[in-house]
Amino acid sequence: MEFNLKIWRQKDARSQGGFIDYNLKGVSGEMSFLEMIDYLNKTLIEGGEEPVAFEHDCREGICGSCSLYINGRPHGPEDLIATCELRMTRFKDGDTIVIEPWRAKSFPVLKDLIVDRYAFDKIMQAGGFISVNTGAAPEANSIPVSKEAADEAYDAAICIGCGACVAACKNSSAMLFVAAKVSQLSLLPQGKAETAKRARAMVEKMDELGFGSCTNTTACETECPKGISMAHIARLNREFLLAGLKS
Predicted confidence (pLDDT) per residue in 14-37, tens digit: 999 999 999 999 999 999 999 999
**Per-residue pLDDT reduced to its tens digit, 121-178:** 999 999 999 988 777 777 777 778 899 999 999 999 999 999 999 999 999 999 999 9
158 and 102 in one domain? no
Inter-residue contact 113 to 8 (CB < 8 Å): yes
DSSP 32: B
Inter-residue contact 176 to 232 (CB < 8 Å): yes
* CA 83 remoteness from chain centre: 11
130 and 34 in one domain? no
CATH number at residue 58: 3.10.20.30
Number of domains in the chain: 2
In this prediction, residue 180 carries a pLDDT of 97
pTM (2 d.p.): 0.93
Is residue 61's pLDDT more than 90?
Answer: yes
122 and 105 in one domain? no
In this prediction, residue 27 carries a pLDDT of 97
Range of the domain at 39: 3-110
* CA 3 remoteness from chain centre: 26
Query: Residue 225 — φ and ψ, nearest 5°?
Result: -65, -15
Average pLDDT rounded to a whole number, residues 76-89: 97
Average pLDDT rounded to a whole number, residues 187-214: 93
Average pLDDT rounded to a whole number, residues 7-13: 97
